[in-house]
Structures are given as structure tokens and as C-alpha cells.
Structure 1
Amino acid sequence: MSITTFAVAGATGRLGRHVVDVLTERGHHVVPMSRATGVDIITGEGLTEALTDVEVIIDVASWHASDQDAATEFFRTSARNLHQYGRQAGVTRIAMASIIGVDNATAGFLAAKKVHEELLLSGPIPVRILRAAQFHEFVGQLLDWQQGDTAYLPALPTQLVACRAVAETLADLALAPTAPAPGTPIPEIAGPRKETLAEAAQLLGARRGIKVVAVDGAGMPDAEIAASGGFLPSPHAELAGPTFQEWLDTQP
């Protein structure tokens, strides 16, 4: 196996930490890029130095809130900078993590992520995309946003997936000698079990002493699209365990 030098944008984030671990375990050189490591993909601070001798960028950096305009601006700037600084450094390709169903999105964070895909694909460096289902860890984040001993969460269908599984598949995609053929569907990865966000949250809530009440998701961006399965994996998706319950059983 040849050794590749990677730069990981968003290296200290929820998915980024797993990507760094997977690449390191496989023996590759990894340059972690985040503000915590002195690299800012928005201002450009530290990017020139970080990308020296880098062959492949993996972009898993994300905006921290759901506001569509702010998220879109973040992705617009990061895409421009990764292409600009990456081309100057001789980067050969970019692999990015996206979200299943973004092509159906009309509002909110997913709509911003749709723009992110379009912006990266329109740049000078070849781009490979992996769309993933919501992460297992997302359920805990939903509960963290609630207040009190009762949480009201949407009964919207999902197929939650482990961050580690996404990181492994994203690394495979980034390392593949050839990109997916033109016209083939964008690769997807999801968990093995269809459930609702509320059902998964009830499992975690039981451990935290929080009662979770399922609601219809009214008022959420594209709730009707979600309810009809618009953000579920396509038939060609890779399904990877563990299930949410199996993953939860391994958590401290």
C-alpha cells in the first residue's frame, strides 16, 4: 500500500476525529486542519503551510448551527479557499462528506449543504462526495438542545449510522485509484436499521432520565419531505453497522 499525505479539514470535529484515526491506523500521513491546530479554512490562516506536500484533502468541516444563510456562507468560503490554496499546493483531489437527501432539500442546513456540494464540484480540483445518514451522535445533540426532563423530538424516519463507519468509507473513496464513473449515483452510507429520530432518542433518554415524546416535526425545514422518506438512503447505499442500540451499548 502506498502512503498518501492527507489534510483533514474539520479534523477535531465529530466525524473528523474518526477520519484522522482511520487514516493514521492505515499508515498514512495526516495533517489535521482546524482552528484548534492553527488552521482556519475560512480566513486562510495557516492553510498554505498545512497543505505543503498534501496530495488529498478530506473536507468534513461543518457549520455549528442550523441557520441556512450562515451555513451557506461558511461553505461558500471554505470551498473557495480549499480549491484556491489546494491548487497552489498541488493537491490532486478533494473528498467530502455530505448528507443523504440533500438534493431534495429546499431549506435549512441541508439546503446549505446542497450548495456546498455544488460549490466544491465547480472548482478546479476533482471532487469525490460521500453522502451519509445522520450520525448516532446526532441523537445526543438533539437531547442536549432540549430543556427540562421531557424532550419533544420528531418522529421522522432515518437510518442512523456510526461516525466510524462513515470515516472508513470516506477514506476508501478518497484512496480509490479512480473516481466513480460519470453518471453513476453519488455514493451513500447509512445504518442497517430504519427507525425514527424519536425512537432512537427514547433509547438514549432512558439512560439520561429524560422522557422523549414523539411529535410530527411540523415547523422543521422540509418536514414533509423527511416524513415521506426523502432523506432515507437510496437502494444503492452501503449499509453499515452497528445499529443505534448496539452503538449505545458500547458508550460509557
Structure 2
Amino acid sequence: MRIAVAGGTGRAGAQAVAVAGARGHDVVVLARSTGVDLVRGTGVAEALVGVDAVIDASGVPAKVDPTGFHRAVTSSLMTAGAAAGVRHVVVLSIVGCDRAASYALYGGKLAQEHATADGGIPFTIARTTQFHEFARQVWESGGLGLLHAAPRARTQPVAVSEVGARLVDFAESEPVNGRARDFGGPREESLVEMVRGYREAAGLRGTIVPVSLPGELGRAQRDGSLLPGPDADLGTQTFAEWLAALRA
């Protein structure tokens, strides 16, 4: 089948592209580097000709409003997809985004889910937890000199390679026309300890300062609201295994 991947050069999108190609699918990457502007809609109609399924793994650029971005991207994909006869749209979302929607990124993902549901093409919402690489992101974004802030949070990180494979699994299957089961890693972790583990594995120096974020997001991080549900599907690679591969 012919599968288009929006955000196919990003972390999860690139994994989906690799998996789909390895399975023998004809893969179309929707990204600026391939001449497609998903926000403005430039090049989308041409790229979706003959496409059977679209995987939307698009990521929000820095300093861009997530809600506006995702609504624009979804509009482009749905309008061009309907005209091209796309039969299935798979959307990568975040576990618990509806429980902390006041946080801009989560609110944007929730808006994306709603826009997809209203878009007129059969769809599947694929919510996942944070990737193992989230520990690196927190280390890099929370640093001030040798001090690195890490939110107190319960999380269940998952391997991005397994997320990519799951997105392709959905694209190959019949649409759910709603949310699929949550997808998370095999075990719960402390984000603070994850950041500490990343520091050690990467051979970095610095003091990690645990912080409790305020508001709805902070509460959801601490009370387990952002963990996958009891009926969730779970991946296999643990965070410890990811760290071991990082050290190798």
C-alpha cells in the first residue's frame, strides 16, 4: 500500500517511515524538506495522490502555537486526503492529553484529535506515553549552568521504534474511528530518576534539582493521570535497556 507520513523526518515519523519501507510499502514523506508545507497546505494535494493511508506524526516547531499548528495541519491533510481518496488517517497523540489540556502542547494534541474526528475520513487516534528520549529533552531544556531542573512526575516511557511500528500497524488495519488503546512502556518510572540515569549514562556533569510544576499539568504528572490506562498495550524495551544501549 501507499502510506504518507506527515512529519516523516521527526523522531516518531522517521521510525514509521523506516518500518513501512521495510515492510514493502510505498512511502511518501510529507515534510518541508520534500516540498510539502503542511501548515499552508502547499504540495499536500500532489503528495497524496494514490495514497491509501496517512500517518500524522507531525511535531510542533518551537515558539509556534500548538493548537493553531495542529488545526492547520489536520485541515490540510483532511481536505487534500478526501480529494485524493485516502481511506485512513492515523494520528499520533499523547496519553492523558485530555487531563492536562491547559498545557499548550496537550491542548494542541486534543484539538488535533477533535479536528481529525470531524475531518470526514476514517481515522485512528494512537495515544502514546513519552519516549525514552524524554529524559534527554528534560536534561537539555532544564539546564542553567550545572543545575538541571527535573519535574517530579510519574511516567511510563516507551521506545520510539515501537511507536513507529505501532503507527504502521494501524495504517495497515481497519480504522478504529476513535481512540485505540493507550500505548506505553513496560514499567512506570520516576522522571527525576530517569534524568539522573541519563546523566550517568551520557557521562555528563551537573546537579539535578527536582521541581513540582504548578497547575493542572503538575498535578497530573504527580498523581499518575498521565500514565496509560489499565487496558493499555505495552511495549517491551525498558528505560534501563535504552540507557544500556546509550552507553554501548
What TM-score, normalized to structure 1?
A: 0.91
Determine the structure 1 residue equivalent to 2:180: 186
SS at match of 1:250: helix
Distance 2:134 2:72 in 1: 25
Of 169, 190, 196, 1:196 maps to 190
* Structure 2 partner of 1:135: 131
Aligned residue among 224, 228, 232 for 1:233:
228
Q: Take 2:134 and 2:213, find their aligned partners in 1: how far apart are those partners? A: 19
Following superposition, the deviation at residue 139 of structure 1 comes to 1.5
Question: How far off is 1:211 after superposition?
Answer: 3.2
The residue that corresponds to 1:115 in the other structure is 111
Matched, 1:98 2:93: yes
How far is the alpha carbon of 1:107 from its aligned partner?
Answer: 1.2
Query: How far did residue 212 of structure 1 move?
Result: 4.6
State the Cα distance separating 1:220 from its structure 2 match: 6.3
Partner Cα distance (1:218, 1:201) in 2: 16
The 2-side partners of 1:220 and 1:147 are apart by 23
Distance 1:148 1:221, change over 3 A: farther
Identical-pair percentage: 34
2:131, 2:44 → 1: CA distance?
28
Q: Is the 8 A contact 2:66 2:107 kept in 1?
A: no
AA paired with 2:74? A
Rounded Cα–Cα distance in structure 1 between residues aligned with 2:207 and 2:22: 38
Contact 1:100 1:232 in 2 (8 A): yes
- 1:64 deviation in Å? 2.6
Answer yes or no: is the 8 Å Cα contact 2:6–2:13 preserved in 1. Answer: yes
Counterpart amino acid of residue 231 in structure 2: H
Structure 1 gaps of 5+ residues are none
Offset of residue 112 of structure 1: 1.5
Query: What is the match of residue 204 of structure 2?
Result: 209
Of 7, 28, 31, 1:34 maps to: 31
1:87-114: per-residue Cα shift (whole Å, max 9, x none)? 1111111001100011212312112111
Structure 1 window deviating more from structure 2 (42-51 vs 140-149): it is: 140-149
Q: How much does 1:181 deviate? A: 7.5
- Among 140, 147, 150, the alignment partner of 1:144 is 140
Q: Helix, strand or coil: the match of 2:108?
A: helix
Structure 1 counterpart SS, 2:11:
coil
Deviation (angstroms), 1:115? 1.1
TM-superposed CA distance for 1:66, in Å, is 7.3
How many angstroms apart in 2 are the aligned matches of 1:84 and 1:51?
A: 11
Over the residues paired in the alignment, what is the CA RMSD in angstroms?
Answer: 1.7
2:147/2:209 contact within 8 Å kept: no
| Aligned match of 1:61 | 58
Q: Report if the CA contact (8 A) 1:52-1:89 is conserved.
A: yes
Aligned residue number for residue 89 of structure 1: 84
TM score, norm. by length of structure 2:
0.93
The answer (yes or no) to whether the contact 1:153–1:197 under 8 Å persists in 2 is yes
Offset, 1:221: 5.2
2:239 corresponds to: 244
Change (3 A) 1:227 1:102: same
1:198–1:212 contact (8 Å) kept in structure 2: no
Question: Deviation of residue 162 (structure 1)?
Answer: 0.6
Secondary structure of the corresponding residue to residue 15 of structure 1: helix
Which structure 1 residue ranges, 4+ long, deviate > 6 Å from structure 2? none
* Amino acid across the alignment from 1:81: S
Q: Cα deviations across residues 133-160 of structure 1 (Å, max 9, x unaligned)?
A: 0011121111111232221101200000
Larger CA deviation: 73-82 vs 236-245: 236-245
Match of 2:18 in 1: 21
Aligned counterpart in structure 2 of residue 49 of structure 1, from 46, 49, 65: 46
Task: Confirm or deny: 8 A CA contact 1:79 1:120 kept in the other structure.
Answer: yes
